[in-house]
Structure 1
Amino acid sequence: MSEGADLGIHPRVALVTGATSGIGKAAALALAGEGFLVLVHGRDATRGAATVREIEAAGGRARFLGADVSDPEDVARLASAAGEVDVLVNNAGFSWFGPSAELDTATFDALFASNVRAAYQLVAALAPGMVKRGRGSIISLDSMAGRVGLAGGAAYGATKAALTAMSRAWAAEYSPAGVLVNTVAPGPVYTGADPELIKQLGDTTLLGRAARAEEIGEVIAFLASPKASYITGAVIPVDGGRTAI
């Protein structure tokens, strides 16, 4: 286990939203490997149980918390069920790409409810406890789509850019009390989405490939570790150099 991992009666706790697949699952596994008790959030209890079993099989500890992040009452229940957490990873949400004229209002609102409002609610509910304890880490998932203009990605990119804007404000609000707030901005990642599209996007990066979810999860775990104790208010691009050009 890494430096700072606490395997005693009161382990450090990490809540990872959208942790039953993709980047969220990779982050949950990486954080469990660092000694955190991981609260695995998702909507599907079967997939949640599978993630918990995978963490436990590797020697870690986890439990599943179900909630629909598009429902503000469900998000409030999630925050209450999580209790005191040391690390919050705002990863849950969904993407939509296509011509702007084809995006209906209901889907637009659902994007912002799941990708933005849920994160805001969780931070509002859980950050005051971190402030009271004088420590904590909040890590939100931006995206390459929030950093560069992508045709068909106006609404989704706006939700991701909003997470970074909120994170900068949260850093100003909470970091003086010892709470670190950062965003991670992945590029194309193989997470079960259209693999051919991900490959095409990966070809546009300086490294000429898309990332594995584990490569993003490790960066999230680093930001949650004592090794990142002087990083706050930052956006960490993990995009193979795509936003550098």
Structure 2
Amino acid sequence: MTSDLAGKTALVTGATAGIGKAVSLALAARGATVIVHGRDAARGAQVVQEIEAAGGTARFIAADMSDKDDVRRLAAEAGDVDILVNNAGVYRFGGTTDTDDALFDLHIDTNFRAPFILVQELAPAMAARGGGAIVNVSTFGAAVAGKGGGIYGASKAALELMTLVWADEFGPDGVRVNAVAAGPTYTPGTAPAADMVEALGRAFALERVAQPEEIAATVSFLAGPESSFVNGSVLQAHGGIKAVVPRV
């Protein structure tokens, strides 16, 4: 345990597994009080217990990120937060003709509208208090076309654009807004497609898949005081792009 985030409250969405859980543990280890968000109360309680067992402080709030009213309730119940990590997201793969209205809405509502509402509800109070940090978890797929990943990547690309807008809107009042474009990562959500995830990992320069803790360390950096002059950045955490090999 360290204490450089002592006295700070962090809301981490999608925090009951994978990257979100790792982020929650990392921020709690630095002294922040963590609001663990998720849909499953039992899994949320486990994360809270894990944080408390390590000497940290946490509580759980359930909310459906695809429901705009529930997202606003989450913001209200969270109260004043100093760090917001917009991590919750969905990814369903398919081509354009395979994407019906319900699937389209699920991605836009969860991956884009929910973070928009949370920033809308929470950032002004951060600004009024003189500062805060917002980190949006994005994906390399926001900038690289992927087979079947169009609507997922597009929803995250929108989030990255708003990262730049929010950095301008709230930066003058001390609220820094950044994003992490994560590469292929081992999580419970990616486990059913392990072979595809492994193949994606080999497509990057490090030729491997990330662990959740590696992405969490990047998020933690952007949330903490050591990144005090970083604002409006989309930090690439995908292992590096391989050089193009020309055919001769």
The Cα offsets for residues 148-193 of structure 1, whole Å up to 9 and x where unpaired, read as 1111111000011111100100001000110000000001001121
1:112 positional shift: 0.3
Q: Of 145, 150, 155, which aligns to 1:159?
A: 155
- Which residue does the alignment assign to 2:47? 51
Q: Of 137, 140, 159, which aligns to 2:136?
A: 140
Distance in 2, matches of 1:244 and 1:66, equals 43
SS at match of 1:141: strand
Distance in 2, matches of 1:12 and 1:116, equals 25
Distance in 1, matches of 2:14 and 2:243, equals 28
1:202 positional shift: 0.4
Checking the alignment, whether the CA contact within 8 Å between 2:205 and 2:242 is kept in structure 1 is no
- Which residue does the alignment assign to 1:4? 4
Equivalent residue letter for 1:230:
F
Distance in 2, matches of 1:152 and 1:216, equals 24
- TM-score w.r.t. the length of structure 1 is 0.96
Equivalent residue letter for 1:56:
E
Q: 1:142–1:243: structure 2 CA closer, same or farther, 3 Å change rule?
A: farther
- Which residue does the alignment assign to 1:104? 100
The yes-or-no answer on 1:118 pairing with 2:117 is no
Checking the alignment, whether the CA contact within 8 Å between 2:80 and 2:125 is kept in structure 1 is yes
The Cα offsets for residues 203-244 of structure 1, whole Å up to 9 and x where unpaired, read as 101001010001000111111111000000000000000387
1:3 positional shift: 5.8
| Number of aligned residue pairs | 241
- Which residue does the alignment assign to 2:234? 235
Distance in 2, matches of 1:140 and 1:244, equals 27
Distance in 2, matches of 1:244 and 1:227, equals 31
Q: Of 11, 22, 26, which aligns to 1:26?
A: 22
Q: Give the RMSD, CA atoms, in angstroms.
A: 1.2
Q: Where does the alignment leave 5 or more consecutive residues of structure 1 unmatched? A: none
Distance in 2, matches of 1:243 and 1:74, equals 42
